Amino acid sequence: MATVATTRSTFSKRRTSPVRCSKESIRQEASRIERLSHLRRVIEVMPGAWAILNRHRQVVFANRTFSGLLDMANDNLFVGLRIGELLGCQSSTLRRTGCGTAPGCDKCAVSTTVDRAFDGEETRDDCKLRIVNGSQQVIRNYHINARPVETRVGRYVLLSLLEVSS
């Protein structure tokens, strides 16, 4: 499956650092977030697919809707990955370092929205993905919302993906 991402975003800032947290470090972060039961409960009842991203843009925690969006029953399959990798963005496979590090990623709606949230802004944008699987093409459109979240365990971005494809 190959994917080409396009967006109407005009914000261009930087590429993601290739540095990532280890799976063990992600599990520890997720455990700390799990103990913030109010945050976890809020995310579970919010409409749409929500995920908490760490400073390296890796998924630390996600709600059931997010898991369903990706057809993944087990969140251990996606925790530690970046959003472009989860959605199957072709650019996320161009470099060994993954999502956000390839040429053009600095113009991606997901990347720029997350960057702005880490800079302290509540942001939203639209993203259009053309997913190519063999001879079939599917266009998926998403509304992306990101907001900074300061907790006693760290600084994160709360990211929402709402598919609005017709």
Q: Give the HSE-up count for residue 74: Cα atoms under 13 Å, Cβ half-sphere.
A: 2
Domain 2-163: CATH architecture, name and number where available? 2-Layer Sandwich (3.30)
Q: What does pLDDT average to in each consecutive run of 10 residues of the chain (166 residues)? A: 39 63 84 75 82 91 81 71 82 81 83 92 86 67 91 88 82
- Domain extent listing, the chain: 2-163
Does this model's pTM top 0.85? My answer is no
One-character DSSP codes across 68-100: HHTT-S-GGGTTT--HHHHHT-GGGGTSTT-TT
